[in-house]
Amino acid sequence: MLSLASTFTPIGIIHSCFGEKFGIPRQAGLVPVARATLELLPPCATPEAVRGLNGFSHLWLIFVFHGIPAGQWQPTVRPPRLGGRQRMGVFASRSPFRPNPIGLSAVRLERIAINQGRVTLHLAGVDVLDGTPVLDIKPYLPYADCLPDAAGGFAPQAPELRLTVEFSSAATMFCAAWPDDEWHELIVQVLRQDPRPAYERATVTPQRYGMRLKGMEVHWEIRGETAYVTDINPVPAGSPG
């Protein structure tokens, strides 16, 4: 067999609101206020490389699922969409556990900041982990990339929003203290997706969860069909990340 291995070096690094895998939306665009910046790295960190990109509202990120240990894939996966009970081919899924751990996301380009030779793209609707290495950026071309009549197999629509989200007084006060930071909206948009693994959704005993979001720890409980945000706290000193 031919040896056709290819080696790629990141053209940039993502600084994302998502500090851990748990809680990341399952596709781009599902959480419109999920923000990130993409900082271009040398030799790509030049304003010329993004000339004309600001005319596009969206772009493709092709990136590495760097949080996934190498070689951790199987021919079939259990899509959360199917309740985790049915196995589908890895190539019929967008699971990060793939033969080549490459991700693909269409994200909104909010603006491009150029400052003393640094080039930073401000993005929204992201579904990528903080620190993600990006291999390529391409403009989203509606005429070639938007296929409204495509049949979406076992995932024809966006996942159902199963949960309503409520906040404790403490969590409400926290969000109110940073009105420009969209904390409230971000938490609502993330938690109404119900980040739990499918097999935990069947559990009837009360469950407590936490995730790292914008450098804070957000905690919530599942109470029936409600995600109840109990508290939002600084990450304890000495925690990784």
Segment 208 to 227, residues that bind a second copy, using CB under 8 A: none
Nearest distance, CB of residue 189 and a second copy, angstroms: 15
234 binds a second copy (CB under 8 A): no
Q: What's the CA dihedral at 92, 94, 98, 99 to 10 degrees?
A: 60
Read off the amino acid at residue 162. Answer: R
Q: Does 200 bind a second copy (CB under 8 A)?
A: no
Q: If binding is defined by CB under 8 A, does position 75 make contact with a second copy?
A: yes
Burial class (CB in 10 A: 0-12, 13-18, 19+), 152: exposed
To a second copy, the closest distance from the beta carbon of 231 in angstroms equals 32
By CB under 8 A, what part of segment 87-146 binds a second copy?
Answer: 87-94, 98-100, 102, 104, 106, 133, 135-146
Under the binding rule (CB under 8 A), the answer on residue 4 touching a second copy is: yes
3-state secondary structure of 230: strand
The DSSP element (H or E) to which 186 belongs, if any, is helix 183-191
Residue 39 near a second copy by CB under 8 A: no
- The length of the chain in residues reads 241
| Shortest distance, position 156 Cβ to a second copy, whole Å | 7
Contacting range for a second copy; rule: CB under 8 A; set: 43-51, 174-182, 194-202, 212-220: 43-51
In one-letter notation, the amino acid at residue 51 is: R
Total site size for a second copy, rule CB under 8 A: 75
Which residues in the 147-176 window bind a second copy by CB under 8 A?
147-158
Which of 36, 33, 47, 44 lies closest to 11, judged by CA? 44
Are the C-beta atoms of 12 and 134 separated by less than 8 Å?
Answer: yes
Interface with a second copy, residue 9, by CB under 8 A: yes
